[in-house]
Structure 1
């Protein structure tokens, strides 16, 4: 899980950003966005199409002028329906410095509803992701814990850095979760 940047002109802070559930028609643009967002793992376009259709209720796309500049894919963990797992967070460099990742995360928690816990995985070196999720836990007034999710040797056979499982929750609920 990472919060990468891309090489695009900066958006004005006044640009109108919209946050919404993605549609299958967004899949190709999401694929392109993620391709520009190194070091995110690039999935197949088919995977991004599924994220934008089958998993649209647990994902969010941020658009400026109709163009995706941010995307979060997620899903409810099958045996833990009260837990939202955030798979990828992509923010175009044109939308950096605006708090877009945090805004999308809070929007997603509201959108999904009945979320008691939010989980994600982050590599030790991904400082931007750590800061984003630490800030989210603080803003939600929810505890944050970590454990090993997938180990460098045991799971990745030495081909990928260890992914820490980050667990935020329980998340206190208010009539409108937005912060």
Structure 2
């Protein structure tokens, strides 16, 4: 695993945890309020917290309320690959490195528990924040990063959806898997 100085610290006053079903409503609100994420049904966030808690992470404030989350899962046909579904951070917490700290912690945990050695996510061309998050993750962990369109805009039923570009980061070695 990486040296402690290679992992960004959790912002002061926050803790990282596995999500619980009781966090689903707050996670839905964070996704809604982001105005950048595709909002899933509130029910899906409840299920996510139940079924994918081991491959997801939530940031909590001092009162225990969720102020950020990353949802992810290991791919069924590539179980050493963690697919990051959504990353959300409360507006009041932005600019503190929380998304980076959550991604590092989640990758470390899934590397240790499930042998994850690659990360995948999709990013739309207009999402500069996600591009920076995943590009800097790859650079910080000295891991190759490839990009290719996974789903063209025409694949989506709603008009105006941008293409989803697949970012594949890896292989992550045990020394760089955070």
Shared fold per TM-score greater than 0.5: yes
Q: TM-score, normalised by structure 2?
A: 0.87
- The aligned residue for residue 135 of structure 1 is 136
4+ residue runs of structure 1 moved beyond 4 angstroms?
A: none
Match of 1:147, SS? strand
- The aligned residue for residue 166 of structure 1 is 167
- How far residue 42 of structure 1 moved from its aligned partner, in angstroms, is 1.1
Gaps of 5+ in 1: 1-12
- How far residue 15 of structure 1 moved from its aligned partner, in angstroms, is 4.0
- How far residue 14 of structure 1 moved from its aligned partner, in angstroms, is 6.6
Note if 1:61 corresponds to 2:58: yes
Match of 1:142, SS? coil
State the alpha-carbon separation in 1 of the partners of residues 164 and 102 from structure 2: 22
State the alpha-carbon separation in 1 of the partners of residues 37 and 149 from structure 2: 19
Q: Which has the higher helix share?
A: 2
Match of 2:153, SS? coil
Task: Assess, with a 3 A threshold, how the Cα gap between structure 1 residues 32 and 170 changes in structure 2: closer, same or farther.
Answer: same
Backbone CA RMSD of aligned residues: 1.6
**Number of residue pairs matched by the alignment:** 164
Gaps of 5+ in 2: 1-9
State the alpha-carbon separation in 2 of the partners of residues 70 and 159 from structure 1: 27
Q: TM-score, normalised by structure 1?
A: 0.87
